Amino acid sequence: MIGERLNNAINEQIKNELESYYIYLSMAAWLHSRSLDGMVDPETDVLAVPGTREGLFFAALANTSADHADAVLIPNPCYHVYYSATAAAGVEPVFVSATAETGFQPDYTALDPALLDRVSLAYYCTPSNPQGAIADLDQLKALIRLARKHDFTVAIDECYAEIYTEAPPPGALQAAVALGGALDNLLVFHSLSKRSSAPGLRCGFAAGDAKRIEALAVMMSTGGAGVPLPVCAAGARLWREEDHARANRACYQENFAIAERVPATASISANPAAGSSCGSRSATARRQRSSCGARPASRCCPAPICAKALAARAAQTTRKIPARLISGSR
């Protein structure tokens, strides 16, 4: 009787361990399917996170130090979590414009080297929310080179990587391959929220520099939750299955086509090569974009925010953003 129970308990334990290990294999296998064969070691270079929001937030806590007057680079406009994470870490946010002049991506390479030496973390989003702008391989390579030169962490949010119209957008890991294959200074974030339209599942991952993955894992296990085993089981299957992701993309195409035909939304949905998620049709989202100079072709989530909007919100609270940080790109 006791022997049987013990046996069952051991089997259950093994099953659980396999389940949580299987999700790491599935995430790595998905990356490998994107021409990244053998690039990431699922044991050291990947961390399952309960959503990229949480991973991106904890990345600021794991990669900055308020004692060293660190600065964090944030695209303007941006997904609001980059700023809230920076504020929570107690370090200086530096908003860098992502408008038509810079191809709707922030050009960190043009920043003052003295500032770059103080940067401990740079957030970057491709395809971007809210603009839907894709960084090309050269831009990603330049960004990684810059991070290595000034020794900061670059956190590349690629959670919209699977929502595209023609070719899949290049990713930062591909850029790292082109630079020789090392993962130094790099953290890349992916999610099932957009790929599988499963935001409620809370399943994503960070991949990259083993040292930085370890620091993120320590921070997340100290202040956050892991990915529960049932979610690991469901998530592993979604990372391994492409049909539903293809069907999801087709569904986006249909919705984009409908949006083109509706006068109220056509002006803000002029068919970018990749899109961020949904909900950009609200008057607020449109106002935000026009006040930031974001291109009208964007499709975005309800959450993107620009520095001016942040400042307006901050003015109603006790936290103030210095004017020099919000007036322009530098």
Ligand X SMILES: Cc1ncc(COP(=O)(O)O)c(C=O)c1O
Asked if 220 touches ligand X (CB under 6 A), the answer is: no
Which of 79, 104, 124, 239 forms a contact with ligand X (CB under 6 A)?
Answer: 79
- Nearer CB in complex with ligand X: 116/172: 172
SS3 301: coil
Asked if 301 touches ligand X (CB under 6 A), the answer is: yes
- Nearer CB in complex with ligand X: 227/326: 227
In the complex, least distance from residue 1 CB atom to ligand X, rounded to whole angstroms: 46
* CA dihedral for 319, 322, 328, 330, sign (positive or negative): negative
9 burial level (CB within 10 Å; 0-12, 13-18, 19+): exposed
Q: Are 199 and 65 in contact (CB under 8 A)?
A: no
Asked if 51 touches ligand X (CB under 6 A), the answer is: yes
Strand partners, 194: none
Asked if 123 touches ligand X (CB under 6 A), the answer is: no
For residues 120 and 117, give the distance between their C-alpha atoms in angstroms, rounded to a whole number. 8
Contact pattern from residue 225 through residue 244 relative to ligand X, giving x for each residue in contact according to CB under 6 A and a dash for the rest: --------------------
Spatial CA neighbour of 103 closest among 272, 276, 306, 285 = 272
In the complex, least distance from residue 201 CB atom to ligand X, rounded to whole angstroms: 9
In the complex, least distance from residue 5 CB atom to ligand X, rounded to whole angstroms: 39
214 burial level (CB within 10 Å; 0-12, 13-18, 19+): middle
In the complex, least distance from residue 78 CB atom to ligand X, rounded to whole angstroms: 8
Span 141-160, contacts to ligand X by CB under 6 A = 157, 159
Asked if 196 touches ligand X (CB under 6 A), the answer is: no
For residues 274 and 72, give the distance between their C-alpha atoms in angstroms, rounded to a whole number. 26
Using CB under 6 A, list all residues that contact ligand X: 51-53, 79, 125, 129, 157, 159, 191, 193, 199, 204, 276-277, 301, 303
